[in-house]
Every structure is written in structure tokens, then in C-alpha cells.
Amino acid sequence: MTNLTLDEKKALIRMALEAREQAYAPYSDFMVGAALRAEDGRIFTGCNVENSAFTPTSCAERTALFKAVAEGVTRFTDIAVVGARRGEVNKQITSPCGDCRQALFEFGGPELNVIMAKTPDDFIERSMDELLPFGFGPSNVAGNKAVEGGGGERIFCQNW
Ligand SMILES: [Zn+2]
């Protein structure tokens, strides 16, 4: 669940807008940036990284998420997402694609706050539960050693 102030949300959106500038999007020309806030306050940014073979393409949200997980950070409260065609200001809300919703649900759960912004002053927010109702997460595979520690303690998920 988010505890961010309005100013903190605006700052997160600005970081997503900055990350968007690094987008590698020569095929779609649609540039996306994301800023993912961890429970401990650290922020990981990402941009979309396209590929000439298309399938290996990664979205901005998953780029940010995988950076964080690679750094050992697995609990998140908020993510800001922005997207627009190259050279344009953000005229539309860009929401996470289905793959990203699933990937984010794994670590953010239903309470992850998703900020979809045109600008720092023009955005909407939805919980992951609204974007991915009845999401499939770690609790769905309870009993799997990948999600439970030796003492029954869950390793990387919260309470969903
Ligand atoms: Zn995506």
C-alpha cells in the first residue's frame, strides 16, 4: 500500500520521465519509462528495450523490476509509468501490459500502487488488484519450496 505524499508521487513520475529518455525503441518509436519504489524507499528505474527479433523485447516496468530483484530488492509499494511516441509529450495514460502486471504482482501483490501519468501533474492511480483482479501469485503455489522457507516462512512474498 502506498504511503507516498503528492510531492513524492510527482518525483516518482519525474524519474519515470527521465528513464523514458533512455528507451531503446527504434522499431515502435514508443518510448516508455518506469520508476519502481521499493518498500525501503529505494527507487529503480527502467525503460523499454526493444530488439530486432522482437520477442526478447523488455518493457520499462520489467526492466526496473528485474534491476531491483538483481540487487536483492523484492518488496515494492509504488510504480510510476509513462509512455509516448518519440518526440511527443505524454498525451495519454500508459498502463502496464499484461506480462508486466503479472511480473509486478509477484513482488508487489494486489496492493501495489500503479501511477499512470501524462505529466507529474496529470496522473491516475490504481491498485494492482484493480489492474489484475484475482491475480495469480506466490500463495497460489503454496507448498512449493520456491515460495516457502524451511520453517514455513515465506521467502519473498508478502501476505497475498
Ligand atoms: Zn509490459
- Residue 153 CA to ligand 1 centre (angstroms): 30
Q: Rounded to two decimals, what is the model's pTM?
A: 0.88
CA–CA separation, 25 and 28 (whole Å): 6
Ligand 1 centroid from CA 96, angstroms:
5
> Measured in angstroms, how far is the CA atom of residue 97 from the centroid of ligand 1?
4
- In order along its 160 residues, the chain shows pLDDT tens digits of 689 999 999 999 999 999 999 999 999 999 999 999 999 999 999 999 999 999 999 999 999 999 999 999 999 999 999 999 999 988 899 999 999 999 999 999 999 999 999 999 999 999 999 999 999 999 899 876 655 544 444 444 554 5
Catalytic machinery residues: 61
